[in-house]
Amino acid sequence: MPGFTPNKAVGAPGTSGGIRRKPEAGNEAAVIGRDAHKEGMMEDPGKLFVDERLTGICVYCGTMPDTRDHCPSKVLLDEPYPPNLPVVEACLACNKSFSLDEQYLACFLECVMCGSTEPKELRRENIKRILSKTPRLAAEIQSTVTVDENGGKTWHPDMDRVRNVVLKLARGHLHFELSVQERDDPDVFEIAPLSVLTAESREFFECPEPGPMAVWPELGSRAFLRALPLRGQMPDGWLDVQEGRYRYLVGQGHGNYAHIVIGEYLACWVAWG
């Protein structure tokens, strides 16, 4: 499995070129049309008229829920948090099982983007606090770094932990937006920094279903209610949870899928069917 590197090609799936740090503001790879749902985007549209058999169960394992899980986790966001963050029903065991892996992914990505595991060199305040309080985690991340003869760093993530978090996010978004539950292994699971996507891959990732909606979401789901005012066509479909920190897109035109961008750095594509 290739590592994440600021300045070295590693051959990530569907990509070309080197994996680099997140571009500065003004780069041509800026996000396309994300403003459409900023105002009130996370507001709950009220009573959802969906199949009640899809409610009252843990999104992740199907057992009885006894907690509500933020999706995305707050560790992936910055304070002050946006109001009305998406939440899904989850059992306590599943909810707790993700926490350390979510913390790991958030810290790993910040270290990669800043090029250091030293808290003082990082930008995100909550990640500075976490790594200051848990030097063992900083040491774990640092131990995965390799340096070439030119001083270029390559960061090697624990892909099992990354996969655990990304699958959790994809499943949560599909349920929250489409009232769809996917607990089997996905048919597609790909992650790569945005900066290494080819132009064709980037275009598909940002807009997998151009034009009018070919497949309507579940009647009464949030995605269905969001589409109605626009007469079946959404500007680009992306939901901006927190600008620059986290956005996602779900759909059903190519099976059930979720596209996720974390920190405007990491692109995630998960699909079933």
- Model confidence, pTM: 0.77
The predicted structure's pLDDT at residue 225: 54
Q: Which of 197-201, 203-207, 235-239 has the lowest mean pLDDT?
A: 235-239
Cα–Cα distance measured from residue 233 to residue 225, given in angstroms and rounded to the nearest whole number: 12
Q: Which residues contact 166 (CB under 8 A, 6 or more apart)?
A: 189, 191, 260, 268, 270
Contact 240, 137 (CB under 8 A): no
- Mean pLDDT for the chain? 80
Q: Which of 7-11, 33-37, 228-232 has the highest mean pLDDT?
A: 228-232
Between 122 and 2, whose confidence is greater?
Answer: 122
Q: How confident is the model at residue 143 (pLDDT cuts 50, 70, 90)?
A: very high
Residue 141 has pLDDT above 70, yes or no: yes
Cα–Cα distance measured from residue 263 to residue 76, given in angstroms and rounded to the nearest whole number: 8
Q: Which of 12-16, 77-81, 196-200 has the lowest mean pLDDT?
A: 12-16
What Å distances lie between residue 204 and 33, 37, 68, 224, 232, CA to CA?
14, 20, 33, 22, 20
pLDDT (tens digit per residue) in 6-34: 433 233 444 333 333 333 333 333 232 33
User: Which contiguous run of DSSP H or E holds residue 188?
Assistant: strand 188-193
